[in-house]
Amino acid sequence: MGKSCRHISLTPATQWLRAQGVVYTEHVYDYVDHGGAAWGAQSLGLPVHAVIKTLVMQDDASQPLVVLMHGDREVSTKQLARAIGARQVEPCKPEVAQRHSGYLVGGTSPFGLRKAMPIYGEQSVRTLERIYINGGRRGYLLGLSPDVLDAVLQVCWVNCVQ
């Protein structure tokens, strides 16, 4: 499914996953500014619902957090805030997200983050057989089981889909 392309050089995400012993497939496509998960899915022939966005957000105390969401869905910041006990949650500005994660926006991976942050995931992501998530570089997805998210990231699952 999708074209699994050549190996691409290591990123902090793939180095981290290898250190954890996680098996994944690599999927490379031509990145387009503002193409998002839909463009990645279309380029690789993948279902956009299985392409998982990694979003860096912050709570009302300006504490950063990561949210994992289906490529064809949006985060309900009100539901997310309620679920994590915050008054509000909002996306970080790109330069702030980059400073927290160590990745360029459009290439953010939940693996190998520069700074330890809580990671929240839309609970329905767990029901997928296979997910495709950013590998730490624009135009680079990793295919893996969603079980990996529980095994190595200890994701806190919430209902935050809009």
What is the distance between the alpha carbons of residues 114 and 137, in angstroms, rounded to a whole number? Answer: 14
Sequence ranges of the domains in the chain: 12-158
Q: What is the pLDDT of residue 2?
A: 41
How far apart are the two ends of the chain, measured CA to CA in Å?
28
Distance (Å) of CA 19 to CA 55, 112, 137: 24, 10, 18
Q: What is the pLDDT of residue 3?
A: 41
Q: What is the pLDDT of residue 79?
A: 96
Can you tell me whether residue 79 is helix, strand or coil? helix
Q: What is the pLDDT of residues 66-125, one digit of tens each?
A: 999 999 999 999 999 999 999 999 999 999 999 999 999 999 999 999 999 999 999 999
CB count in 10 Å sphere of residue 60: 11
Q: By the 8 A CB rule, do 122 and 68 touch?
A: yes
3-state secondary structure 114-151: CCCCCEEEEHHHHHCCCEEEECCCCCEEEEECCHHHHH
Q: What is the pLDDT of residue 23?
A: 92
Q: What is the pLDDT of residues 148-157, one digit of tens each?
A: 999 999 899 9
Question: What fold characterizes domain 12-158?
Answer: YbaK protein (3.90.960)
Q: By the 8 A CB rule, do 100 and 64 touch?
A: yes
Confidence grade of residue 7 (pLDDT, cut at 50, 70, 90) = low
The pTM of the full predicted model, rounded to 2 decimals, is 0.91
Confidence grade of residue 1 (pLDDT, cut at 50, 70, 90) = very low
Q: Mean pLDDT score of the chain, rounded to an integer?
A: 92
In degrees and rounded to multiples of 5, residue 143 shows phi and psi of -95, 130
Mean pLDDT of the 54-77 span: 96
Q: What is the pLDDT of residue 34?
A: 86
**55 pLDDT above the threshold of 70:** yes
